[in-house]
A and B are shown apart, each in its own frame.
Chain A
Amino acid sequence: MASADITAAANANETAFNRLVWFNTVILATVFGAACGGLLLVATYASLAVSSAMGVEPGQYLMLLGVFLPGYTVTPVGAWIGFFWGFVYAALSGGVMYQIYARSAGRDWAKTVTFDVKAPRSIMQLTLILSPRALGLAVGAILALQVFLSTAWLVARGTADESVHAELLNQYLPGYTVSMPGALIGAVWLFVYGFAFSCLFAVVYNYVAKKRLGGGSSNGR
């Protein structure tokens, strides 16, 4: 095969890969956005319902999200504003997360799937297998970025000293403070937690998936 043909084929493969990854990115971003927005919507309405029944102020802590979600309040209208921002926020996070995952999972395609020989069509014979390392890297990076940006926002708006609720994160993130150095410390801790729990997710997923296929074919994960 001539070198020009090899280059053209490689470029076509890279183009196809990029397009497929972007398609999957849109799918995952939509799912994450809908799930997060939906959860916030349900949580807000649930808080309103419970507070109405008990005769207390609604959303004692939910309302703190208004610091990060412009226009969000624990009201029927605010619930939908929260759905919108939750959708945007989670969709961006999910999209970036998948991009990191897809581009760090490697191109050894045989390791990314396992075979279900009982499936009726060849297309349906491949079942997704997750890469624990790539998933951990993607989720850890997103969580680290989120806590860093959230803390930086509190510092930038000048309310760092009043952010007593955010300060309580140091219960889980030793050394965290509502400051720029604290934001970096928090990011490191959340990367570690995100990496660990994502690896757990991938390991459990891969184990159950292969068990359901009767062991599947060995693929290195």
Chain B
Amino acid sequence: MFEPEAGGRGGREAMSPNTLMVMSLFAKADVMAAAAAGAATAALAMFLLTISLVIRGAAPGYEVGPHLSAFMTFWPGYSVSVGGSVVGAFYASLIGAVLGFVTGVFWNFTHLIIIGAAVLRGEWLEAE
């Protein structure tokens, strides 16, 4: 389809715009990068959600963050506290990593199927 030049940087300049458009829309996702980004984003979000309630506090006699506290059901060790915010960030990072990983894998798998089908169809047409 194209010949990468030395160093690999010249390859995209040799592509036609249409080819580059198709390959860009079907480019593979970096699964590990997606997992890392998902983990980082989810961890930060959960940490900020928890710590903001801890800083804000609650009126005397009222529980801080009764809704967030429900996560204790699923995340052993989590609580609406400074330490709990770190624990929650850890658990959230695991979920974010898994979601990012699964999204990337499924994205690449489905695109690979379509690209493979297109390549095979092209080869069959050439053979005819």
Residues of chain A at the chain B interface (Cβ within 8 Å): 13, 16-17, 20-21, 23-24, 27-28, 30-32, 35, 43, 46-47, 50, 60-61, 102, 107, 109-110, 112-113, 115, 117, 122-128, 165, 168, 171-172, 197, 200-202, 204-209, 212, 217
Contacts and interface: CB of A to CB of B under 8 A. Distances in A.
A60 B21 CA distance: 49
Contacts of A109: 17, 20-21, 23-24
A197 B44 contact: yes
Contacts of A208: 30, 32-33, 36-37
Contacts of B18: 13, 16
Contacts, number: 133
B96 to A, nearest CB: 9
Given A123-B23, A205-B30, A115 B11 contact: yes
B67 A20 contact: no
Interface of B: 1-2, 4, 7-9, 11-12, 17-18, 20-30, 32-34, 36-38, 40-41, 44-45, 49, 52-53, 56, 67, 70, 73-74, 99, 102-103, 106-107, 110-111, 114-115, 119
Given A27-B110, A47-B73, A165-B67, A201 B37 contact: yes
Contact of A50 (B36, B73, B114): B73
Contact of A127 (B27, B53, B73, B110): B27
A109 B56 CA distance: 46
Contacts of A197: 41, 44-45
Contacts of A23: 114
B92 to A, nearest CB: 12
Contacts of B38: 201
Given A122-B11, A172-B52, 14 more contacts: A27-B107, A30-B106, A35-B99, A61-B70, A109-B20, A113-B24, A113-B27, A117-B11, A126-B27, A127-B27, A197-B41, A197-B45, A205-B33, A212-B30
A18 B44 CA distance: 35
A172 B73 contact: no
Contacts of B27: 112-113, 126-128
Chain A CB within 10 Å, residue with most, of B2, B4, B22, B41: B41
B28 A200 contact: no
B119 to A, nearest CB: 8
B33 A209 contact: yes
26 contacts: A13-B21, A16-B21, A17-B25, A20-B26, A27-B107, A28-B107, A31-B102, A32-B103, A35-B99, A35-B102, A43-B74, A107-B21, A109-B23, A110-B12, A112-B27, A115-B11, A117-B8, A122-B4, A123-B26, A123-B119, A124-B28, A126-B24, A201-B38, A208-B30, A209-B30, A212-B32
Contacts of A212: 30, 32-33
Contact of B9 (A16, A32, A115): A115
Given A31-B107, A60-B70, A128-B27, A20 B4 contact: no
Nearest to A128: B27
Nearest to A49: B73
Contacts of A217: 8-9, 12
Contact of B74 (A46, A165, A168): A46
Nearest to B56: A171
